[in-house]
Each structure stands twice: as structure tokens, then as C-alpha cells.
Structure 1
Amino acid sequence: MSAQIFHDGDSDRSFRPGRTLGKVGIYAILIFWAFICLFPIYWTITTSFKIAPDVMKGNLVPWWDFTPKWLGFRSLGLSPDTIGTESTVRAEFLKRFWNSTIISVSASLLAVVLGSCAAYGLSRFQYKFGFMKNSDISFFFLSQLILPPVVLALPFLVLYKELGLLDTRIGLILLYTLTVLPIVIWIMRDQFGSIPTELEEAAMVDGLSIWGAFLTIVMPIALPGMVAAFILSLVLTWNEYFFAALLTSTNAKTLPVMVASQTGSQGISWWSMAALSFAAILPLIVIGIILERYIIKGMAAGAVK
């Protein structure tokens, strides 16, 4: 009898209909949300293989609603039958792609370096600038995001004209660094604030300076936050359109400007725009997947330490 009771209790613990239904509901919601998030990427990819009638009809399923064509990639010189030939459009695309890569990566790295230093100071030291203290200074940085870009258009246009920074990569790098710097400071301030100060005090007792403790103790633990801040900055600067269109004309134009230019007197070339958009978002997807692994490794290493 006791064995039977034990068996019944074990079966009750192993099978609970309410708990199972709850898990099924959670997974269903997650799958539905993943579908919503990934559908724009799917639509972009499929549109790049459509012709005009398929785009207008809204066909979605390849080989069911429409037969995939290389029209979008052929217009960029990136289709299998044109990749080996000379193409001015492909050369222009590669130039814009290179501009976006240099500008976004440089601005993101610069923002992470400067923002990490500023955030570390705000999390470890007490400052007073007039009536403003640490919390006020942090909010001041974040409040810079409230201003819409159009408000800054004329001042930056006049300033860059006087400094000779119009249509230059360095001009966009400096501007993009300023735009994402508040976000990096806000992220890294919380990251540094979660690290115990006793670690740095013990390192300085052993003879390290403040910078030595920061580089050898604090920075490895805060690396996941730095990577997250870098990814966010990279996405924001890579997709930025307004200032790139305003402050550049020929030499420093980026991919978002080229994507938006796929219009003409006969309408919008949806297949070319979709092919350009897919080529523009593909590097971000790859970088996100690669750096996500480093985030997990950094979190595990920080937990072990």
C-alpha cells in the first residue's frame, strides 16, 4: 500500500495539466511574437525576388504564390549572372556599404570608450556642477535624446559648413558619436553600479592604480554591458538616415540614403529597395548572432569571478 501511495504521488508531481497548459501558452505567445518580429525581414527577402505584378498582388509564399526572380539583385549587379561583370550600380553599392561600415563602427567604438569612462566616473565619484549632482548629470545626458533631429539640422548644417566637415566621414562619425553617447552612458552607469567597489579597493591595496583596477578588474566584468551598448549603438548609427541625407552629397553617403533613393518618375522600385535593404540588414544580423555568444560568455565569466 505504501508503494502504491508513493507511486501515485510521484505521478501527480510529474504530470500537472495546469502547468503543462501554462507552458504551452507561453511557448505559443513566444512563437507568435517571433513571427511578428521576423515577418518584416521575411517580407523584405521575398520582395527582393519578386517582379512588379507579384509585389502589387501581395504574394508572399515563394513557388506557391510567385516564382522567385533575381530582378532586385540584378538591378544592383549582385545576381549570379551579373556578379562577374562590371557594374556601376554594384560599385556604388559597395562604396555606400563601406561608408556605412566605417562610420557606424568608428562612431560606436568611440561612443563606447567615451561613454564607459563617463559612466564609470558617475558611478564611482561624486560630482557637483552648480546645482547639478550625479543623478542630475546622468539625466542631462539622457535628456539630449528628447530633441528631435530636425531641431539640430540648421545648426549642424551651418557649423559643418564653417568647419569644412560637410560630406565627410569624420563629420558623420563625430555627430553619430554624440547621438548615441547618452545611451551608452546610461547603460554603462547601471552596469558599473552593479559591480561591488570592494573589488577595486582590494586591487588598489595590492598596488594597482585606479586605471589599473578599472582595466584589469572592472572592465572584464562589465564587458557584456559594453558589447550590448556597442550593438545598440551600431544598429542606431547604421540605420540613421536624416543627418546622412542632410550633411552628405557624394563622398560620404551611406546605405540608408541609397535605399531611400530607389524611386523614380515611374514609381518605387520595390524589388531593388528590398534587395538593398536585405543587403543592409544582413551584416547586423550576423554581427548580432556572433556578439550574442560573447555576451553569454562574458556573463558566465563575470559570474565565476
Structure 2
Amino acid sequence: MADSTQIFHDHPDDRPPPVKWWASRIAIYGILIFWTVVCLFPIYWTITTSFKMAPNVMQGHMIPFVDFQPNWRGWESLGLSPRLIGQESTVREEFLLRFMNSAITALSASALAVALGSMAAYGLSRFRYRFGFMRNPDISFFFLSQLILPPVVLALPFLVLYRELALLDTRIGLILLYALTVLPIVIWIMRDQFLSIPVELEEAALVDGLSIWGAFLTIVLPIALPGMVAAFILCLVLTWNEYFFAALLTASDAKTLPVMVASQTGSQGINWWSMAALSAAAILPLIVVGVLLERYIIKGMAAGAVK
């Protein structure tokens, strides 16, 4: 009995972890915590700046109630402070209009890009195409290569085209353009998603009497849904934050939040508190979407890693 007890206590699993193990854990978690602070610091700075006065901004005060006394100056400039929330405010109405423009444009463009891009990616992953010397891999790379072009190269052509089509300063104009700009990303992401799905599942569905569209909608689409959500969120972030084309192709009716944020600079300097309040209000929806759909983002990023 004594020997068995001694053997039990000397089992390798009961020994404390070695120093090397603890050192590696501390190093890994230290790096992760440091990177988390680096990533979250811009959001913290933006939110705290919306509660600062000009001297606090210039002097680099960071900690509320320690370095500076918070106030609602930035949010009052938008009509969103507790004191003004129940009163009429033209600035708040303009902010809500720009917010709606950004929301409608980004959501519509992202949904359109995911719908068209998913169908194009499905075709590239399941069928063989030939356009001259180009095969499926060449076509996929051609779509991705469209991201190499800087936006300023497309400025003049789109400006002339939209003037002829009467799409300047319209939501539909921004939706079509944004969908076009993020479409290559969706095609590239969804192509890998569909390639990770076994073809045998669709062949079994076709044997059971389903059409190609039926197999796509009932078999492939539910499996690829996490990847589609991940692609949608990426498109939403890119289109929500887009500034160049929104500033170029809009004037008043279809102006978006990024353009309104940039308008806080003028000859008198930068209105830091208003810009920070606008930026915080623009960041909040993306944070909410990311938190609610986090599990889909992780599934979409991990899909295709193991077949």
C-alpha cells in the first residue's frame, strides 16, 4: 500500500509545471495584453476626447477625473448631451441624416456584394471557365487584382459617368460603387469557403432530384453561411469607413458620416471634441455588430482550414 501511494504521488502529471512552461505562458499573455491595449487605445482616446476641452486635448490629458474633469462639450455640439437631448437641434438632425445615409449605403452595398460575390465564387469553385488564356485561377486573381488600383485613378471616370447617369449625390450611386469596390474581396473569401465544402454533398442532392440552384440554396448555402457573414462584416467595415468617393460624389443629400467627421476641420483649427464625439458615434455601430456576430466571424475565418 505504501509503495502504491508513493508511485501515485510521483506520477509526472502531479508534478508542478516547469519554470519554462510558466515563462512561456507569461510571455504569451503579456504580448496578448499589450496588443489588446494597443488596439483599444484609439477607441479609448476617441471617447475620452469627446469629453475634453481644448486645453486638455493639447496637453495630452488621458485619465478622466484625474487629469481632467469630463464635460459634455463634444456631445452638446451634436445635440446629443443629456441637457439637449429633449430639445430641437438642427445639428442633431443633420447627424441623424448622415448616420442613416451611412447605414443604408453600407448595409445595402455589403448585402449586394455578398449576394453577387457568393454566386460568382460558387461558379468559380464548381465549374471550369475559359476566357482566352485565362482559366479559373487566373479569373480569381484578376478579380483580386482590382484592389491594386488606387481610388484616385477611378475618380475622374466615375465623376464623369455619374454626372451623365444623374447618380451624383445619390444613395444608389454610392451603393453601386461600394458594392463594386468590395466585390473582389467577397469573391476571394467565398471561393475558398466553397472549395472547402465536399462536392459529394451536392452530387447527392442532385441525385435526389434537386436542381443546381436547389442544391446551392439548401445544401451549400447553410454550410457557407459563417463565411458569408464574415465577408459581410468585412464589407460593412470597409464601406462604412469609406471617405474618398463619398466626399467626391456627394454634396448634401447623400453625404455620409466620414465626410461629416472630416468637416470638423476648418480655418480656425480642428474642433477636437466634436470630431471625437462624431467618431465615437460612428464607431459604436461597428462595435455592436462585431460583438453580436463574433462567433460567425471566427467560424468564417476558420472555415476551410481543415477539410
| TM-score above 0.5, yes or no | yes
Task: State the alpha-carbon separation in 2 of the partners of residues 98 and 109 from structure 1.
Answer: 16
171, 180, 184: which one aligns with 1:178: 180
Residue in 1 that maps onto 2:129: 127
Residue in 2 that maps onto 1:266: 268
Residue in 1 that maps onto 2:244: 242
Per-residue deviation at 1:300? 11
**CA deviation string 1:233-291 (max 9, x = no partner):** 00000000000000000100000000000022221000000000000010000011111
41, 44, 68: which one aligns with 2:43: 41
Matches within 5 A, 1:109-148: 109-148=111-150
Q: Which amino acid is the alignment partner of residue 82 of structure 2?
A: P
Residue in 2 that maps onto 1:26: 28
Task: State the alpha-carbon separation in 1 of the partners of residues 15 and 156 from structure 2.
Answer: 68
78, 81, 94: which one aligns with 1:79: 81
Q: Which amino acid is the alignment partner of residue 158 of structure 1?
A: V
Instruction: Tell me the SS of whatever aligns to 2:68.
Output: coil
Instruction: Tell me the SS of whatever aligns to 1:153.
Output: helix
Task: State the alpha-carbon separation in 2 of the partners of residues 108 and 301 from structure 1.
Answer: 20
Task: State the alpha-carbon separation in 2 of the partners of residues 301 and 147 from structure 1.
Answer: 29
Task: State the alpha-carbon separation in 1 of the partners of residues 193 and 151 from structure 2.
Answer: 28
Give the TM-score taking structure 1 as reference length. Answer: 0.95
Task: State the alpha-carbon separation in 1 of the partners of residues 259 and 101 from structure 2.
Answer: 11
Q: Which amino acid is the alignment partner of residue 150 of structure 2?
A: P
Per-residue deviation at 1:297? 7.8
Give the TM-score taking structure 2 as reference length. Answer: 0.95
Residue in 1 that maps onto 2:210: 208
Per-residue deviation at 1:292? 1.4
Shift in CA distance, 192/297, structure 1 to aligned 2, threshold 3 Å: closer
Q: What are structure 1's unaligned runs of at least 5 residues?
A: none
Q: Does 1:63 align with 2:65?
A: yes
Check conservation: 1:221, 1:298, Cα contact below 8 A: no
Shift in CA distance, 135/294, structure 1 to aligned 2, threshold 3 Å: closer
214, 231, 234: which one aligns with 2:233: 231
Across the aligned residues of Structure 1 and Structure 2, the Cα RMSD in angstroms comes to 1.8
Residue in 1 that maps onto 2:292: 290
Shift in CA distance, 53/301, structure 1 to aligned 2, threshold 3 Å: closer
Per-residue deviation at 1:298? 8.3
Residue in 1 that maps onto 2:100: 98
Q: Does 1:251 align with 2:258?
A: no
277, 280, 284: which one aligns with 1:278: 280
Q: Which amino acid is the alignment partner of residue 86 of structure 2?
A: G
Q: Does 1:169 align with 2:171?
A: yes
Task: State the alpha-carbon separation in 2 of the partners of residues 117 and 70 from structure 1.
Answer: 48
Check conservation: 1:221, 1:301, Cα contact below 8 A: no
**CA deviation string 1:199-237 (max 9, x = no partner):** 000111111111111111111110110000000000000
Q: What are structure 2's unaligned runs of at least 5 residues?
A: none
Instruction: Tell me the SS of whatever aligns to 1:250.
Output: coil
Task: State the alpha-carbon separation in 1 of the partners of residues 169 and 68 from structure 2.
Answer: 42
**CA deviation string 1:121-171 (max 9, x = no partner):** 000000000110000000000000000000000000000000000000000
Task: State the alpha-carbon separation in 2 of the partners of residues 223 and 268 from structure 1.
Answer: 43
Instruction: Number of aligned residue pairs: give it.
Output: 302
Check conservation: 1:227, 1:295, Cα contact below 8 A: yes
Per-residue deviation at 1:24? 1.8
Per-residue deviation at 1:19? 1.6
42, 46, 56: which one aligns with 1:54: 56
Task: State the alpha-carbon separation in 2 of the partners of residues 69 and 272 from structure 1.
Answer: 12
Per-residue deviation at 1:100? 0.2
